[in-house]
Chains A and B, each alone.
Chain A
């Protein structure tokens, strides 16, 4: 579905990614984990076209999309939930959702999309006239996911959607992602700091350090769960 090959990029003169190769299979949940500053966000930004790749190739749905700008990628069904959500805080929930359906294809299916996201997140329907900035953290995250769904994506990339959320809310978000995959047949590429969450959600995992893939495989292969339990829970 999506493949980045040998991706290199950075900011200004500073190189951050040193030849990243990752793949997201159709209708799978793939996670990227790694320490702060490893370059996880940079990978997603480069794939989205928000920063230009210096080298390497991005293939999506069989096409080379390496140099396409973000809005062209959205048109093709690639969407992203940014780190820190980036909602339009001064606009209402509904205005945020309508802006999600900005592209021509998405606009034609606006009513249908609204119904889907309202069914998925009933709270957003209740709060539809409320300003996005006044929602709780969990609700904002749901709105960010809902806004991404409004673009009618085939693949969603999410950058740390569980950041700053209570564990119970994190679980809800992960359940939602599984639902998206099962019911809407959406492919998911997830950056997730929380290794345990990643372990329980992912079909396939990449571990990134210093802008390189250091390990990859099914979570049970590449994540040492005992080690993590020890580190996280002190068991």
Chain B
């Protein structure tokens, strides 16, 4: 009974963390969907978000949820800047070029972060109580992160489905040349999509700090790049909504397996969750290479 209670508790936690994972991956999928570029430096932008949360909290006593608008502005500026300096030249270039470039951008951002803020872990604690779900206790900060993620994803969905710009972005995803002859400025759509994608990632980074017990450091992003790849594939690369759903699946897998692995004597479950996640990725890629929700 204790096992099932633990499992249920962990799965609940998995859903909550999964929403944040999902949000933190939407940007990767959005950028791939529109620009057909895989942002290998994804995790660096998660890290930027984490530092935004940290500094806003430590310097200005602004909590991470209220820092979301700040992350939006910083993310957009960073995304647009990088787009016009680097990414613009990579549209339609060989894949290797864009992989190397985004990899390099990621490392550059990490090194700049290390230069200014040092390599050590930093943490802050924001405590506003918790809710007892019977099976487990969930801190209110994590619940807030969950609801913020869901709300932001919904807002984005409305933006894509209901606005003219959203329709233009979808048109470019479906058929770039078809969009051109409709009078859509495709390069502007690229810039906006990259900017929005990076902004979403930075916001995801803010919310993820509420789930990191060991604190943040400049190299924390790598782990999230890997997780985001799994989630993006789960969601059928290229679809931000698929990625959001993929986040839930990943959260459940990761935290469910944590409980189950804990049953095996002599196994340290935390070290194996990543193994489980990537085994899942391999299995999915073997069975359905376009991802679980992938169309074609």
Contacts and interface: CB of A to CB of B under 8 A. Distances in A.
B93 interface: no
Contact of B181 (A79, A98, A106): A79
A67 to B, nearest CB: 14
B181 A91 contact: no
Contacts of B185: 69, 71
Given A88-B171, A98-B167, A99-B167, A75 B177 contact: no
A32 interface: no
A85 B180 CA distance: 12
A132 to B, nearest CB: 9
Contacts of A98: 167
Contact of A70 (B168, B171, B180): B180
Contact of A102 (B170, B183, B187): B183
A44 to B, nearest CB: 10
A148 B183 CA distance: 10
B174 A74 contact: no
Interface in A79-102: 79-82, 85-91, 95, 98-100, 102
Per DSSP, are chain B's interface residues mostly helix, strand or loop, or mixed?
A: helix
Interface string B149-189: 00000000000000010011011001101111111111100
Given A88-B175, A99-B168, A82 B181 contact: yes
Nearest to A100: B182
B168 A102 contact: yes
Interface string A129-160: 00000000000000000011011000000000
Interface string A94-121: 0100111011001000000000000000
A71 B187 CA distance: 10
A70 B167 contact: no
A48 interface: yes
Contact of B180 (A71, A87, A88): A71
Nearest to B183: A74
A225 interface: no
Nearest to A152: B183
A100 B167 CA distance: 11
Interface residues of A, number: 29
A93 B168 CA distance: 15
A158 B179 CA distance: 16
Contact of A86 (B164, B178, B187): B178
A50 interface: yes
Contacts of A148: 181
B68 to A, nearest CB: 31
A216 B71 CA distance: 61
Could you say which interface size class chain B belongs to? Answer: 10 to 19
Contact of B182 (A85, A89, A102): A102
B175 A74 contact: no
Q: Which of B164, B171, B174 has the most CB of A within 10 A?
A: B174
Contacts of B182: 74, 99-100, 102, 147, 150-151
Interface string B200-228: 00000000000000000000000000000
A90 B180 contact: no
Interface in A8-26: none
A165 to B, nearest CB: 19
Nearest to A144: B178
Contacts of B171: 88, 91, 99
B180 A50 contact: yes
B34 to A, nearest CB: 14
A224 B178 CA distance: 36
A50 B170 CA distance: 20
A129 to B, nearest CB: 15
A80 B178 CA distance: 9
A89 B183 contact: no
B183 A82 contact: no
A69 to B, nearest CB: 7
A81 B167 CA distance: 20
Contacts of B186: 70-71
A213 B171 CA distance: 35
B177 A82 contact: yes
Nearest to A98: B167
Nearest to A74: B183
Question: Which has the most chain A C-beta neighbours within 10 Å: B171, B179, B181?
Answer: B181
Which 3 pairs across A and B sit closest by C-beta, in order of nearness?
A74-B183, A86-B178, A103-B183
Interface of B: 164, 167-168, 170-171, 174-175, 177-187
16 contacts: A50-B177, A50-B180, A71-B184, A79-B181, A82-B181, A87-B175, A88-B170, A88-B174, A88-B175, A88-B178, A89-B174, A91-B170, A99-B168, A99-B179, A151-B181, A151-B183
Interface of A: 48, 50, 69-71, 74-75, 79-82, 85-91, 95, 98-100, 102-103, 106, 147-148, 150-151
Given A89-B174, A99-B182, 5 more contacts: A50-B177, A90-B174, A91-B171, A102-B168, A102-B182
